[in-house]
Amino acid sequence: MKKVIISTTLLFAFLIVFFIIFFNDNTKIVAEDSDIILFSSEYCGHCALVKEYIDANEIENKIKFEIKDANEEIALLFEIARSCGITGDVGVPLLFDGEKCISGDRDIINFFNDKVK
């Protein structure tokens, strides 16, 4: 009887730990080399403005971040948007700084301006 109680308790504890680890939505999403991910698209005018700013100001040499094609990384884009509380339409450009999402060319350019100061 004692073995059954101990086994049941251990199994129950294992299941609790399993569910906490594998079903926790608060896990931090990070890029491969940086916490900052910029989602962009080739045919997006606002994305082109951000890209022009990045190139003109050599931002990639000053700040560590990744640029991902939204069309190729659609699942990750929606996962990150959901983690930021975006439940409706998800547009680009969208920047994820490791904690929050920033959308729109002006706000993203302002983010990079603040980072390089």
- Does some domain include residue 105? yes
Residue 30 is predicted with a pLDDT of 42
pLDDT at 99: 92
**Chain centroid to CA 45:** 22
Quick one: which H or E segment has residue 115? helix 105-116
**pLDDT tens-place string over residues 28-54:** 444 445 689 999 999 999 999 999 999
Number of domains forming the structure of the chain: 1
Q: Looking at the domain assignment, is residue 24 inside a domain?
A: no
For the record, the structure tokens of 106 come out as: 């002006």
CA distances to 33, 41, 43, 52, 109 from 49, rounded to whole Å, are 24, 11, 11, 5, 9
- Let me know if residue 16 belongs to a domain: no
Say how far apart CA 8 and CA 69 lie, in whole Å.
Answer: 48
Is residue 95 situated within a structural domain? Answer: yes
CATH of the domain at 93: 3.40.30.10
pLDDT (tens digit, 0 to 9) for every residue of the chain, 117 residues total? 666 565 455 444 443 534 444 444 444 444 445 689 999 999 999 999 999 999 999 999 999 999 999 999 999 999 999 999 998 889 999 999 999 999 999 999 999 999 988
